[in-house]
Amino acid sequence: MKKQTIDTRPAGPKPWYDPRVRSLFFQAIAIALVFWGGWILVDNTLSNMESRGISTGFGFLGETAGFGIIMNLVPYDATMSYGRTFWVGLTNTLLVSAMGVVAATILGFIIGVARLSSNWLVAKMALVYIEVIRNIPLLLQIFFWYFAVLSNLPSPRQSVDVGGALFLNNRGLYLPDPVTQEGFGIVWGGILLAIAAVVGIRIWAKKRQLATGQIFPTFKVGVAILVLVPIISYLVAGRPLEWDLPALRGFNFGGGITIIPELAALWIALSLYTASFIAEIVRSGILSVSKGQTEASKALGLPNGLTLRLVVIPQAMRVIIPPLTSQYLNLVKNSSLATAIGYPDLVAVFMGTTLNQTGQAVEVVAITMAVYLTISLLISLFMNIYNRAVAIKER
Amino acid sequence: MQTPPKDQPGKKPGIIRVEGMHKWYGDFHVLKDLNLTVDQGERIVICGPSGSGKSTFIRCINRLEEHQQGKIIVDGIELTDDVRHIDTVRREVGMVFQHFNLFPHLTVLENCCLSPIWVRKTPRKEAEASAMEYLERVKIPDQANKFPGQLSGGQQQRVAIARALCMKPKIMLFDEPTSALDPEMIKEVLDVMIELAGSGMTMLCVTHEMGFAKTVADRVIFMDGGEIVEQAPPHEFFTNPQEARTQKFLQQILAH
């Protein structure tokens, strides 16, 4: 016998009063509008390009570029292709961004903690730093470092000379370049050995703490191993390293490694500017941990350092990570201000010179935007993974 | 250090000694010339109107607050600016707060083990076993792997008591442990505290629970305006208060 189910629910509203029907209707309209707008844009572009006789496609990437770039991490000269200029620009952008993220994070954490110091002078200095730096436009700060500070360094002939190995002048900072000789493999071996030993000690120390409660000074011992073992292996291998020293040749220096002033100015400005925002984020993160947490930790006999490490920072991190991510994204995107002082980043090289020479605006802009989007999404992804790891599980 | 008198074997007299203690917040004189001696195993309830300085007083005993004048000696160690003395005293003095202050990023068991592992350097297994014993004593061993946010207020406060006990303290301070709880949860926390009192723990409780005071206290201290106005055994205190301020306070809280 089939059981008859009786629908006891009240009759549904008229379709135009039903929120589900309404939302479907408005979503359909929105999608139609987006597609219509997109089609107009594409159609318009294609017909305009056709009427002006501009060829589309990515074939231009294989053509010879014919212009020089003042700094390249991947091998480059003017006979190479436009595609190559893309890689030069991208690596330069990634370099200054990575350097900026590292420096801004370190500086930001230090200043953020200093801002909370009980020492009046330290706290006020951090406050002044933050308020001055974050309230001046970044472009202005880049100009300041490039034109007001680095351009006023002495000319190559009057370089600031540190021990005949390190030279600073208005063309850049010149450092000795390490050139590995035969037998350097032993040193690499020593470095790998040291890293393996430190990892091993960490695991062993954790195990021992679980078993006996003894706390091993992993950090101090680890640093000692990481410093001493490579030095010893270097000496044992008979010092297989020579330095290519920079030297004055004619009007400028040759040899060694050069940090061009454009890179230095951009890096300093980006780091200082972003650090001021990170400092405020760190401060708010630490303040978000209630005073009761610190008191409970102290009442349990945990000294200040352990209280900070085991109780305050783990809880502050969940507040710090999301806004820190957006600061990293800002830094990467702000690095495109490089154009203003001629640092050859992706925007300056690829969207600047390459675009001007080839006229392939649509393709070049699309590639460049896709690159920034990719970098930003990757940073977000990694930060989200990290955030999930430190998030507090409450329910 | 004094030797224990013969009539009380094993009971150290004066495990807490407060002598002529004053505290100011800026110009505001919060605590005025407090004198108190607590013997080992003594259970003391401190009551008084809000703003009378009773919380501030017990927070001075493990130096969550600094005093500016007079002496506080806990288990033979005087509390001064010396950080080592402060840490030593805090290891021997457990504290339970009004708002529990459990660490939300750690499980109940990790909350209990944190200090034994890092301060007492107990092996983790031992620390966990001992923590489970205390969690059983406060009747929530089954919540050990939950996070504090998943527990009710009464359960959280019992975890907080277990966490303090895991350091095997000689003295326990309670700062209004039931004030933030719903009425039906107050009893479960008080039961744990009464059980603890029966085990011979030295206890100082700031509380408004007069029933608790009558059941377990050896002495009730009444504070008002930053002074100790009156102290007496509970029976005497509730039936025959000497001071006018005490009488007025008792009338107000026992009116209903």
Cα of A315 vs its chain's centroid, Å: 24
Residue of A138, A112, A118 lying closest to A319 (CA atoms): A112
Rounded CA gap, A110 and A116, in Å? 10
Q: Exposed, middle or buried: residue A245 (CB in 10 Å: 0-12, 13-18, 19+)?
A: middle
ipTM for this model: 0.89
Instruction: Write down the domain spans for chain B.
Output: 14-100+169-253
Q: Is A161 on the interface with B (CB under 8 A)?
A: no
The model's pLDDT over A311-366, given as tens digits with 9 standing for 90+, comes to: 998 899 888 999 999 999 999 999 999 999 999 999 999 999 999 898 888 889 99
Mean pLDDT of the A120-133 span: 96
The model's pLDDT over A58-69, given as tens digits with 9 standing for 90+, comes to: 888 888 888 988
Supply the mean pLDDT for chain A. Answer: 88
3-state secondary structure of A297: helix
Q: Which of A310, A311, A395 sits opposite B149 (nearest CB)?
A: A395
Q: The pTM is what?
A: 0.77
Q: Which residue has the tokens 């094993």?
A: B10
Q: Is B105 on the interface with A (CB under 8 A)?
A: yes
Rounded CA gap, A294 and A312, in Å? 7
Q: Going along chain A, which residue ranges are E strands? A: 160-162, 166-169, 172-175, 177-180, 241-244, 247-249, 252-254, 257-259
Phi, psi of A177 (to 5 degrees): -105, 120
Distance from CA of A390 to the nearest CA of B (A): 9
3-state secondary structure of A210: helix
- Residue B33's alpha-carbon distances to A99, B18, B23, B28, in angstroms, are 59, 9, 9, 14
Cα of A362 vs its chain's centroid, Å: 27
What angle separates helix A261-287 from helix A82-115, to the nearest 10 degrees?
A: 40
pLDDT at A4: 64
The verdict on a CB contact (< 8 Å) between A315 and B62 is no
Chain A contact set for B101 (CB, 8 A): 290, 292-293, 295-296
Residue of A374, A389, A372, A270 lying closest to A331 (CA atoms): A270
The verdict on a CB contact (< 8 Å) between A296 and B83 is no
The model's pLDDT over B72-126, given as tens digits with 9 standing for 90+, comes to: 999 989 998 888 889 899 999 999 999 999 999 999 999 999 999 999 988 888 8
The model's pLDDT over B120-159, given as tens digits with 9 standing for 90+, comes to: 988 888 899 999 999 999 999 999 999 998 999 999 999 9
Q: Which amino acid does the sequence have at A241?
A: L
The verdict on a CB contact (< 8 Å) between B119 and A212 is no
Q: Does domain B14-100+169-253 have CATH number 3.40.50.300?
A: yes
Q: Please give the structure tokens belonging to residue A175.
A: 């450092």
pLDDT at A1: 52
pLDDT at B1: 41
- Enter the DSSP assignment of A333: H
Q: What is the CATH number of domain A82-151+259-390?
A: 1.10.3720.10
Supply the mean pLDDT for chain B. Answer: 89
Contacts of A127 (CB under 8 A, 6+ apart): A115
Q: Is B97 on the interface with A (CB under 8 A)?
A: yes
B14: pLDDT strictly greater than 90? no
Q: How confident is the model at residue A271 (pLDDT cuts 50, 70, 90)?
A: very high
Which long-range contacts does A230-235 make (Cβ < 8 Å, 24+ apart)?
Answer: A230/A187, A230/A190, A230/A191, A230/A194, A232/A190, A233/A186, A233/A187, A233/A189, A233/A190, A233/A191, A233/A193, A234/A187, A234/A190
Rounded CA gap, B102 and A293, in Å? 7
pLDDT at B6: 41
Q: What is the DSSP string of A126-145?
A: HHHHHHHHHTS-HHHHHHII
Q: Which amino acid does the sequence have at B130?
A: S
Give, in degrees to the nearest 5, the angle at Cα A317 between B175 and A290. 20
Distance from CA of B59 to the nearest CA of A (A): 10
Distance from CA of A311 to the nearest CA of B (A): 7
3-state secondary structure of B19: strand
Q: Give the number of other CB atoms < 10 A from CB of residue A102.
A: 11
Q: Which residue has the tokens 């014993």?
A: B133
Chain B contact set for A393 (CB, 8 A): 147
Contact A262, B129 (CB under 8 A): no
What percent of chain A has pLDDT above 90?
47
Q: Give the number of other CB atoms < 10 A from CB of residue A19.
A: 8
Contact B7, B18 (CB under 8 A): no
Rounded CA gap, B223 and B201, in Å? 23
What angle separates helix B153-165 from helix B108-118, to the nearest 10 degrees?
A: 20
Rounded CA gap, A160 and A167, in Å? 6
Residue of B19, B35, B17 lying closest to B228 (CA atoms): B35
Q: Going along chain B, which residue ranges are E strands? A: 16-25, 28-38, 43-47, 69-74, 77-78, 93-96, 171-175, 202-206, 219-224, 227-232
pLDDT at A162: 81
Q: Are strands B227-232 and A166-169 parallel, antiparallel or unpaired?
A: unpaired
Rounded CA gap, A291 and A140, in Å? 40
Q: Which of B91, B127, B147 sits opposite A301 (nearest CB)?
A: B91
3-state secondary structure of A153: coil
Q: Give the number of other CB atoms < 10 A from CB of residue A242.
A: 12
Instruction: Write down the domain spans for chain A.
Output: 82-151+259-390
Chain A contact set for B124 (CB, 8 A): 209-211, 213
- Residue A160's alpha-carbon distances to A154, A192, A284, in angstroms, are 7, 37, 41
The verdict on a CB contact (< 8 Å) between B115 and A303 is no
Q: A177: which strand partners? A: A244
The verdict on a CB contact (< 8 Å) between B105 and A314 is yes
The verdict on a CB contact (< 8 Å) between B164 and A306 is no
What percent of chain B has pLDDT above 70?
95
Q: Which residue has the tokens 């017990």?
A: B58
pLDDT at B4: 42
A385: pLDDT strictly greater than 70? yes
Length of chain B, please? 256
Chain B contact set for A301 (CB, 8 A): 87, 90-91, 115, 119, 167
The model's pLDDT over A71-80, given as tens digits with 9 standing for 90+, comes to: 888 889 888 9
The model's pLDDT over B213-250, given as tens digits with 9 standing for 90+, comes to: 998 999 999 999 999 999 999 999 999 889 999 999 98
Rounded CA gap, B98 and B50, in Å? 14
Chain B contact set for A315 (CB, 8 A): 103-105
The model's pLDDT over A272-289, given as tens digits with 9 standing for 90+, comes to: 999 999 999 999 999 999
- Enter the DSSP assignment of A163: T
Q: Is A180 on the interface with B (CB under 8 A)?
A: no
Q: Exposed, middle or buried: residue A42 (CB in 10 Å: 0-12, 13-18, 19+)?
A: exposed
Q: Which of A215, A300, A318 sits opposite B115 (nearest CB)?
A: A300
The model's pLDDT over A192-249, given as tens digits with 9 standing for 90+, comes to: 999 999 999 988 888 888 777 777 888 888 899 888 888 888 888 877 778 878 877 7
Length of chain A, please? 395
A395: pLDDT strictly greater than 60? no
Q: Which of B123, B125, B167 sits opposite A300 (nearest CB)?
A: B167
